[in-house]
Amino acid sequence: MKRIALGIEYDGSRFLGWQTQPGGGTVQDALETAIATIAARPEITVTCAGRTDRGVHARGQVVHFDTDAERPDSAWVRGVNALLPDSVAVVWSACVPADFHARYSARSRTYRYLLINRPVRPALEARYAGWFHAPLDLDAMRAAARHLVGEHDFSAFRSSECQAKSPVRTLHSLEIAGAAGRIEFTIRANAFLHHMVRNIVGTLVYVGKGRHAPRWAAEVLESRDRARAAPTFAPEGLCLERVEYGAEWNLPAQQSRLRESLVPSP
């Protein structure tokens, strides 16, 4: 039995989320069916680094699965891609040690949220960006973001449906860049709670539009009360950009390269 790791990218607007459902229609359903066909096995189960909701995209998702089928790496890339819908693709494949785990071996995850900030809603990017109509104060949002960096109890930013055993996470960085009506929030942490990124973005937008001072983000965090934070922001602007692993796993180099920002830093 061998363990195979794959790098995956997908357009979340075409799926009902990552996790398999009885009626199908998820990224996991499409991927497992294609892999099982290439492996010539009745069933294959894949485990991902981070489950994404309906409408959320991924550029750097990582999965693993076990199989006794002998196939070249190219079969797990080109072969599987030939059986996948055009909204999801395998980017790379690697044979990994049996103790590698796509989720538990990961050191960090990086998400990026793209927000269109202009009076009129977007059309061409409607499936790939959030939207807010009123002007936003980037400096105020950056000041608020600094209160969230570090190890904290993020209960105020977790969904009521979150199944994580602990609400404590370490947020390594939270960067905000903006230009020409586009704002990008880049958030890196050891792990994330359900809806954590979208709840943080919503809270920062409340600060940016002047509803609250930057210190309010710290008050929300300290309260550990989800009702104190802003509503969950739309999923369309969110993308899992990168999952970071230690060098000992020897994963393909392109997996560790974060896409260059669409928005130049000021």
Give 2-105's CATH code, choosing from 3.40.50.970, 3.30.70.580, 3.90.1150.10, 3.40.228.10.
3.30.70.580
Catalytic one of 11, 29, 53, 139: 53
Q: Please confirm, yes or no, whether 53 is among the known catalytic residues.
A: yes
Question: For 163-221, what is each residue's pLDDT tens digit?
Answer: 899 999 999 999 999 998 999 999 999 999 999 999 999 999 999 999 999 999 999 99
Residue 115's SS3 state is strand
Sequence-distant (6+) residues with CB within 8 A of 244 are 106, 107, 108, 109, 110, 256
Specify the fold of 108-241: Alpha-Beta Plaits (3.30.70)
Q: Where are the domains of the chain?
A: 2-105, 108-241
Write out pLDDT tens, residues 108-142. 999 999 999 999 999 999 999 999 999 999 999 99
Query: In angstroms, rounded to a whole number, what is the distance separating the alpha carbons of residues 22 and 45?
Result: 14
**Secondary structure element (H or E) that encloses residue 2, with its range:** strand 2-10
**Residue 78 banded pLDDT, cuts 50, 70, 90:** very high
Q: How far apart are CA 219 and CA 162, in angstroms?
A: 22
Q: Do domains 2-105 and 108-241 have the same CATH topology?
A: yes
Distance CA 137, CA 134 (A): 10
Residues 6+ apart with CB under 8 A from 122: 116, 129, 131
Is the pLDDT reported for residue 52 higher than 70? yes
pLDDT at 128: 97
Name the pLDDT band for 262 (thresholds 50, 70, 90).
low
pLDDT, position 235 = 96
Choose between 186 and 256: higher pLDDT: 186
Percent above pLDDT 70 for the chain: 95
